[in-house]
Amino acid sequence: MKEFEPSEYDLLREGQIVFTCIHPAAHPEEVQALLDKKVIAFTAEDSHRYGSPNCEAAGKQGALFGLESMLTINGGKGKFVSGLGGAPGMKVMILGGGTVGQAALSVLHALGAWCTVMDINIGTLRSISRQYQEQVNTMISTKENIRKLLPETDLVLNCVKWPKGCRDYLIDRPMLKLMEKGSVIVDISNDDQGAIESFHETTHENPRYIEEGIVHYCVGNIPGAIAHSTSIAYAASVLPHFRSLAAYGVAEACARDGYLRRSLTAYKGYLTHEETSALQNRPWIRPEEILKITEKDPDPAPPATVTRSDHYIRL
């Protein structure tokens, strides 16, 4: 369930339906191969009505990797999550209150950490406060608020879906100096030019690096560490799409489910993914138009990202 590798491009064939985590906006060569081969491609990460299982897995396991990174033997300051008699527990800042952030919060709160969740959506923050009986702090996510809390924060988890192309940061390099040495940043979102300026991707073989005395954990495929559970959860999420495609065909299945339709990335040589069009400057056509279902009052779904493109293909 990951991107196609160049060695696999020749295995693609015209009219074939492929459904995997394509991440098309970040992989122009892969997109070109899908278009050249005239396949029908769905990018799985955009198809989840209730949030991606990968996001839940990354949030929960990313929280545990943050605790592991806090250990003295891994370069951290050596704080225990809930504290010990006479020794206070960890203070955690979670950036982003979506599926990833709420998954991380569920683990850390249960283990006794003192958690603050930051988000730009006041409704999300209110919902989190009520869910945890006001035992979790919430704040509007701004650079100024983050700067205020960093000196007393032990662990930061970045769970923000950062707009591609944005050149600002929530935590820039000078802000690392505000944190106590041995504090930890876990960049679960794992985006180049993302919310954390000091981010660079790492692997499970060498997951951590230290910059300005701050331990960074930036593994790109956190769910791969719990592959068994993640695979089962992912299968449960996408199985209804497979059943619908098999029962109704591509056009009708996409009309019935807006989340499946918004994940359509390429259709028989045409790009149908808006974010990819915007970031790669490629012309695209709306799935409703190429599938000829505009008159069917298709099931609605919110856009997968805030990125927009008016570089349309006119049939």
Q: What is the pLDDT of residues 42-101, one digit of tens each?
A: 999 999 999 999 999 999 999 999 999 999 999 999 999 999 999 999 999 999 999 999
Q: How many residues does the chain have?
A: 315
> For the chain, what is the radius of gyration of the CA atoms?
21
Please say if the pLDDT value at position 192 is more than 90: no
- Residues 246-301 pLDDT 10s: 999 999 999 999 999 999 999 999 999 999 999 999 999 999 999 999 998 999 99
Please say if the pLDDT value at position 191 is more than 90: no
Please say if the pLDDT value at position 163 is more than 90: no
Q: Give the end-to-end CA distance of the chain in Å, rounded to a whole number.
A: 32
- Please state the pTM of the whole predicted model: 0.90
* Strand order through the sheet with 184-187: 137-140, 114-119, 91-95, 155-158, 184-187, 214-217, 208-211
Please say if the pLDDT value at position 167 is more than 90: no
pLDDT tier at 154 (50, 70, 90 boundaries)?
Answer: very high
Residue 145's identity, in one-letter code, is N
Which 3 state secondary structure label does DSSP give 117?
strand
Question: In the predicted model, what is the mean pLDDT of the chain?
Answer: 96
**Residues tagged active-site:** 23, 191
pLDDT for the residue 1: 65
Q: For residue 63, is it left (φ>0), alpha (ψ between -120 and 50) or beta? A: alpha
Helix, strand, coil shares, percent, the chain, to 5:
40, 15, 40
φ/ψ of residue 81, rounded to 5:
-55, -45
